[in-house]
Chain A
Amino acid sequence: MPGLTSTMLMSVQSLLADQAALQVTSNNIANANTPGYTREVPDLVETTPTVEGGITYGAGVTLEKVQSIRDQLLDLRISEENQQQSGAQAQVDALNQVQGLFSDSTQGIGADMTAFFNSLSQLSTNPTSIPQRQAVLTDAQNLASSFNQTSVNLSNIQSNLNLNVSQAVNQVNGLTQQIAKLNAQVAQMQQLGQEPGVIQDQETQLVQQLSQLTDVSIIQTKDGQTITTANGSALVVGGQSFALQASADASGVEHIFSQGEDITSSIKNGKLGGLLQVRDQAIPAVLNQLDTLASQFAAAFNTAHEAGTDLNGNAGQAFFSSASGAGAAASFAVVITDPNAIAASSDGSAGSNGNITQLTAVQTQELPSGASPTDSFSNIIFNVGNLTQQAQAESDAATSSLNQLNDQWGAVSGVSIDEESTNLITYQRAFEAAARVISTVDQLTQTVIGMGASG
């Protein structure tokens, strides 16, 4: 039959369990506003009962472990959305810079093209006027400068993105090193039977930061989290991290390598994915459209110009020069420097303005690309705007989705002050009751001792 001593021991055990539960509750309350903190619950279990004389006696309570409340499915979705949100936002930031090159309607290629054709129209009213001819050349120079400057600015944005790529790779490597260290700690604590909740919280935070940088797959193993890139290359396995390398090719473009393999094209999400998307696809597409416009416009205008006669009675020569294909916009230039060399005449007479009609017609004439120069430029603006709006919509949707998932995460893993306040009172009452049991057992013991003394 259990004696007063075993009752006393059971009560002490109960006091200790309630005290530990109170500590867990107070830690939850203290971390109610700590980002990434996962609430903990004390796992109280009944101590193995004792059997004496065929009767089973309860043996009190034990705090078996303190458990963090996690939902791995939500963690996975938050990681996915972080990757997509950061990728889309990186695209929006970069594309906004590209859009800035085309958004001003008062300057740039569009405005300069309009000004150039307006000057030509004015020249038709007085084709022998040298100041009018000079104005045409000045506006042609402005148009050429706009083509050159836009091409240079696009290349500069591309170079800046290139720089950001290598910086992001360094950030990825820093994070994977930290995660590997925490992975090792988690495994060690689990081996010792300790609850690694706090370390796992830190690890989850770092994994979310990593997700913002690149697309990763996370697999839970007995050695902690195994993290791989989108194409399956290992980033973290147990306590070991595998660094990514950024290495520039002959043209200075940074490529990303994982254990010797070029994985640049497989990175689609995270900040890195967004930067690579704009650097390797969006900007080259815009540059290609711009080069096509520059070379086809130069060719069409030169054809019209060569059909006329200049003020000196000579056959018209090439007005613009431009490389064909890549680099056409960057090399776009005005060949003619002499105002007299503008071939305004169609019949060879100095006063004729017949060829100006042909020259101004180029503005609305269909180029080999299938659109007029003005429409081609509008298409570039539309494409850039469309890409930006699409990325913005993706970023907004991913942000909303993250809010939705974070709300759900809060409901599962977040600290509810109301719930913790209730727990506080519950454990306080249990602690008081256990203390009262001890006090009662103490009185009973004194009574028993008194009985012995009086006997």
Chain B
Amino acid sequence: MAELDKTRQHTHGEHIARVHALCSEVQTSILALEKNNVMLLEQSLAKQEALCNQIAILKAKSAEAKPIDARSAAEIRHAYMALAQKNRTYASLLKRSSRTVNLLAGFYRCYGASIENKSLDHTWSCEV
């Protein structure tokens, strides 16, 4: 019984640690976007994917290891709430970054279109 409790506590502890790590990784992605650091963003996304897979496994293990004690349940709930809040910020930042990228793309499209239109009126050598 004591051994089962120990295993259960270990699983919950690992579960919470992974959720915290994912939360921290989402924050890293936010910082990467802030600094326009694509490499850091890609690394962080890869880590997030790995952590999500680990959490899915641990979540299944936790479900098997029921009943969960109130303290662990509260800790897991708090960890997920912090992650949800961080995700809200991340989602909103992605939406904002997309707006900047769309505006830039629109600007370049507009610029490109004006060159294309010109090319109808001028010869290739004129354009060069």
Contacts and interface: CB of A to CB of B under 8 A. Distances in A.
Nearest to A398: B96
Interface stretch (B15-23, B32-40, B112-120): B32-40
A396 B34 contact: no
A390 interface: yes
A76 B97 CA distance: 14
Interface string A382-416: 00000001101110111011011101100000000
Chain B interface mostly:
helix
Contacts of B107: 73
A436 interface: no
Interface string B85-128: 10011111101110110011001000000000000000000000
A403 B31 CA distance: 10
B96 A81 contact: yes
Interface string B62-104: 0000000000000000000000010011111101110110011
B19 to A, nearest CB: 17
A268 B69 CA distance: 45
Contacts, number: 53
Nearest to B31: A400
B55 interface: no
* Chain B interface bracket (under 10, 10 to 19, 20 to 34, 35 or more): 20 to 34
Interface in A49-87: 73, 76-77, 80-81, 84
Contacts of A400: 30-31, 33-34, 89, 93
A77 B99 CA distance: 9
Most buried by B among A76, A84, A398, A401: A401
A73 B89 contact: no
B96 A397 contact: yes
A397 B100 contact: no
Nearest to A389: B85
A447 B36 CA distance: 63
A394 B92 contact: yes
Given A404-B36, A408-B36, A396 B103 contact: no
A394 B91 CA distance: 9
Contacts of A76: 103
Given A400-B34, A404-B33, A407-B35, A393 B85 contact: yes
Contact of B93 (A80, A390, A401, A408): A401
B8 to A, nearest CB: 29
Nearest to B103: A73
A168 to B, nearest CB: 24
Contacts of A389: 85, 88
Nearest to B81: A389
Contacts of A404: 33-36, 97, 100
A332 B33 CA distance: 51
Contacts of A394: 92
Interface string B33-54: 1111000000000000000000
Contacts of A405: 100
B5 to A, nearest CB: 30
B98 to A, nearest CB: 11
A407 B35 CA distance: 7
A401 B96 contact: yes
Contacts of A401: 93, 96-97, 100
B34 A397 contact: no
A237 to B, nearest CB: 25
Contacts of B36: 404, 407-408
Contacts of B30: 400
Contact of A393 (B31, B35, B89, B99): B89
A56 B35 CA distance: 51
6 contacts: A77-B100, A80-B99, A390-B88, A393-B92, A397-B91, A404-B97
Given A392-B85, A400-B89, A407-B34, 19 more contacts: A76-B103, A80-B99, A81-B96, A84-B96, A389-B85, A390-B88, A393-B85, A393-B92, A397-B88, A397-B92, A397-B95, A400-B30, A400-B93, A401-B93, A401-B96, A403-B34, A404-B33, A404-B34, A404-B35
